[in-house]
Amino acid sequence: MSRVEATAQAIAARFGDRARPVATLPGDVAIDVAPADLVTICKDLRDAPDLAFEQLIDLSGIDYLDYGRSEWTTLDATSSGFSRGVERGPRNEAPATEGRFAVSYQLLSVARNTRLRLRCFCPAGEPPMIDSVAEVWAAANWYEREAFDLYGILFRGHPDLRRILTDYGFIGHPFRKDFPLSGYVEVRYDPARGRVVQEPVSIEPRVTVPKVIRKERTPGAAGTGGNA
């Protein structure tokens, strides 16, 4: 039995329905857990000898807004590429998942040389909130601050939850899918005031459609080798 199979069986035997398997690539193990079970399961994943996930490699927020919805309709682009650069039209309003925000945890067992991806969806509501795992893995402290800063996810019980990447007075959370690419404010130096000031963004939103222009070739032209 491989280490991956042994890890999957150990998780299933210990947690049962509390750890739901997630489809993933061959050689990987991924599970979903409920918010109420998050901290308890994380402690068991760290302390159980047959699991021993003593290290948190990474933690990131996920915004599933529009996940599972079809591409918006366009007249001059395909549904797999340039359509994302044109105006939105009618869409299929059928999301593939109920929750919008989730947190993904990448765990490593150094002793057993195995990895695990754990995902937990935040309960519905604004702002999204989930329990902190900083008491389980100290590395979660900064990772959770990053997820809070970029996604607006609150981590209940975090010892010092505040922004870590954006500037003082930054408005919004830039990794959310509905955050405008140009942001809400811009900064500039005002000579009259002798300081940097923040103002509403002056960039006018516009939509660009990238195009690939190919020259038409005459059949049998020199250098084509007979192929168009």
Residues 77-100 have pLDDT tens digits of 454 554 444 455 544 444 444 689
Q: Count how many Cα atoms sit within 13 Å of the Cα of residue 23 in the half-sphere of its side chain.
A: 0
The larger pLDDT score, comparing residue 80 to residue 29, is at 29
Residues in Cβ contact with 209 at an 8 Å cutoff, skipping those fewer than 6 apart: 76, 77, 82, 85, 86
**Alpha carbons 96 and 67: distance in angstroms, whole number:** 6
Residues in Cβ contact with 99 at an 8 Å cutoff, skipping those fewer than 6 apart: 64, 121, 122, 123, 124
Residues 61-83 have pLDDT tens digits of 999 987 766 555 555 545 455 44
Other C-beta atoms closer than 10 Å to the C-beta of 117 total 17
Other C-beta atoms closer than 10 Å to the C-beta of 157 total 13
- Going from N- to C-terminal start, the domains of the chain cover 3-64+99-168
Whether 29 has a pLDDT exceeding 90, the answer reads yes
Whether 226 has a pLDDT exceeding 50, the answer reads no
Using CB atoms within 10 A of its CB, is residue 180 exposed (0-12), middle (13-18) or buried (19+)? exposed
The CATH code of domain 3-64+99-168 reads 3.30.460.80
pLDDT mean over 148-156: 96
Residues 105-133 have pLDDT tens digits of 999 999 999 999 999 999 988 899 999 99
Helix, coil or strand: residue 53 = coil
The larger pLDDT score, comparing residue 181 to residue 174, is at 174
CA distances from 169 to 61, 176, 205 (A): 21, 18, 23
If pLDDT is split at 50, 70 and 90, which confidence band does 171 have?
confident
Residues 181-190 have pLDDT tens digits of 777 888 889 9
What share of residues in the chain are helix, strand, coil (percent, to 5)? 20, 20, 60
